Structure 1
């Protein structure tokens, strides 16, 4: 579907607003879907496997969004950048909690680092 530039700018004030809407939306989707898919799971290993499956699915289905997010996050306005970072921190915390649950004794910092390492591996193919 082709959308003309004038039509696009009837909905968004500028390019920064388009980017903000896109990247906030990506972050909200990752977080919301992670919560939805893991809700009610009692098996701690299943929680982590579900998170991996979800992130891989997203990365394979939306490689362009991953590239835009990694390349253009710094171009966001401050309010959108803060919102994306907050959503990302919440997403990481879901992962860190799952990692700590399946690997008792792992401290919070190591669990967060492990989550980021997994994201890097899963997100790398589009780049």
Structure 2
């Protein structure tokens, strides 16, 4: 069970709440998700990205396998008409799915305003 509190998530089995500000991006793999964090080791959870997306509506779904914290996007770069990549604050570079490009640009623009 996961409970969302102001700016953090309390996950069952963990004594310390997970700060949303340290959560950089989530990587989906079937029924599991890998949470990439800025100042701590990654966490594997038995939750799909769809469930995480519902719990974290401020995060941006950039592809079938990735959900990104918009506060950790350092660069959004259009390579070509149908290719866009996002560089995160930890240096990770992720490709945006072609059908999500417009949605991602709109979401990033609304966060920066």
Greater strand share, structure number: 2
With normalisation by structure 2, the TM-score equals: 0.26
Q: Higher relative contact order at CA 8 Å, sep ≥6: structure 1 or structure 2? A: 1
With normalisation by structure 1, the TM-score equals: 0.24
Structure of higher CA gyration radius: 1
